[in-house]
Amino acid sequence: MLTIRDLTKTYANGVRALDGISLDIPRGMFGLLGPNGAGKSSLMRTLATLQEADSGSVSLDGADGRAIDVLRDKDAVRRQLGYLPQDFGVYPKVSAADLLEHFAVLKGLSDRKRRREVVDGLLNQVNLWNARKQKLGTFSGGMRQRFGIAQALLGDPRLVIVDEPTAGLDPEERNRFLNLLAEIGENVAVILSTHIVEDVTDLCPTMAIVSKGKVLLTGKPGDAIDALNQQVWRKQVSKDELDSYETRFTVLSTRLVGGQPVIHVFSKDSPEPEFELVEPDLEDVYFQRLRMHARVA
Ligand code: ADP
């Protein structure tokens, strides 16, 4: 669906935000997971034709089966693309229905009746029908993001890009938003960029972990988790011992459980007595990759 090869980008300040990114992104939800500064937004903006790469290639399967050169044929990409940027701003004094209608005009939906149908359909789809006459300034974070998805879906895109959409949403809003994305992902390719591991665990059949402009892992979350089987160990420790464990072992994560630190350690064999094996999860995979990368980099 989307083929990215050897994409690089160095900003004027010398930061190499994309350092040879290659990815194959199929239809469905694709999770792009990485810490802040990993290069996710740079990649999203490049795919959304909002900034130039220095080198590399990106190809998108078009509706007619022909491949679109994303880095060159920007107009063709834009016709197939829906984008929800990280800092999606709305006009606070305009109603949801009016602004969506306005975006629809900009998208080229010139037939008034058809436009009405599309706008109404989208407002329903994102569950904002009852709030359609409300001013956007009164919307909660979750409602704003759902409005953002509605505008991204105008024009039936084949590729939808959402950049850090769940940041700042409460758990209920987040669930609602992710369910909406999952529905959309049944028909098109959706790239979900996030630093929140659960977003990917809950939603994405394929994923990539990126850090410092490089792809550290790509594939199915389940396969990556299986590869860590029998190698993640857990122990409750005291706060004073934490430093010592971190120097002696590959500590993947520290979580407080009832106020006491519980560490996850990556090790082929039992690190010490009193460690117990745990079933790894995607968070273990994520931290294991980031640790290993930090070590070699
Ligand atoms: P992420 O979305 O994963 O947080 P970004 O793509 O925003 O990562 O940033 C990757 C790196 O590039 C960071 O070090 C960031 O400071 C830097 N960066 C991003 N945009 C610019 C820019 N316009 N000019 C200079 N540096 C930038």
Q: pLDDT (tens digit, 9 = 90+) per residue, 20-68?
A: 999 999 999 999 999 999 999 999 999 999 999 999 999 998 778 789 9
From ligand 1's centre to the CA of 17, what distance in Å? 6
Ligand 1 atom with the smallest distance to the CA of 195 is: 3
From ligand 1's centre to the CA of 37, what distance in Å? 6
* CB of 47 closer than 8 Å to CB of 3: no
Query: Is the CB of residue 110 below 6 angstroms from any atom belonging to ligand 1?
Result: no
Note the pLDDT tens digit of each residue in 151-206.
999 999 999 999 989 888 889 989 989 999 999 988 899 999 999 999 998 899 99
pLDDT recorded at residue 4: 98
Query: Is the CB of residue 42 below 6 angstroms from any atom belonging to ligand 1?
Result: yes
Measured CA to CA, the distance from residue 149 to residue 83 in angstroms comes to 8
pLDDT recorded at residue 100: 96
Q: Whose CA is nearest to atom 12 of ligand 1?
A: 17
Q: Which residues pair with 96 in a beta bridge?
A: none
Query: Is the CB of residue 39 below 6 angstroms from any atom belonging to ligand 1?
Result: yes
pLDDT of residue 296 exceeding 80: no
pLDDT band at 77 (very low <50, low <70, confident <90, very high): very high
Note the pLDDT tens digit of each residue in 212-268.
999 999 999 999 999 999 999 999 999 999 999 999 999 999 999 999 999 999 999
pLDDT recorded at residue 291: 92
Query: Is the CB of residue 50 below 6 angstroms from any atom belonging to ligand 1?
Result: no
**What six digits make up the tokens of 275?**
């460690």
pLDDT recorded at residue 88: 83
pLDDT recorded at residue 297: 65
Nearest one of 276, 280, 208, 271 to 44, comparing CA atoms: 208
Note the pLDDT tens digit of each residue in 96-109.
999 999 999 998 89
Measured CA to CA, the distance from residue 53 to residue 44 in angstroms comes to 11
Burial 120-147 (b: 16+ CB within 10 A, else e): eebbebbebeebbeebbeebeebbbbbb
pLDDT recorded at residue 90: 82
Burial 236-273 (b: 16+ CB within 10 A, else e): ebeeeeeeebeeebbbbbeeeeeeebebbbbeeeebee
* Reduced 3-state DSSP string for the chain: CEEEEEEEEECCCCCEEEEEEEEEECCEEEEEECCCCCCHHHHHHHHCCCCCCCEEEEEEECCCCCEEECCCCHHHHHHHEEEECCCCCCCCCCEHHHHHHHHHHHCCCCCHHHHHHHHHHHHHHCCCHHHCCCEHHHCCHHHHHHHHHHHHHCCCCCEEEEECCCCCCCHHHHHHHHHHHHHHCCCCEEEEEECCHHHHHHHCCEEEEEECCEEEEEECHHHHHHCCCCCEEEEECCHHHHHHHHHHCEEEEEEEECCEEEEEEECCCCCCCCCEECCCCHHHHHHHHHHHHHHHC
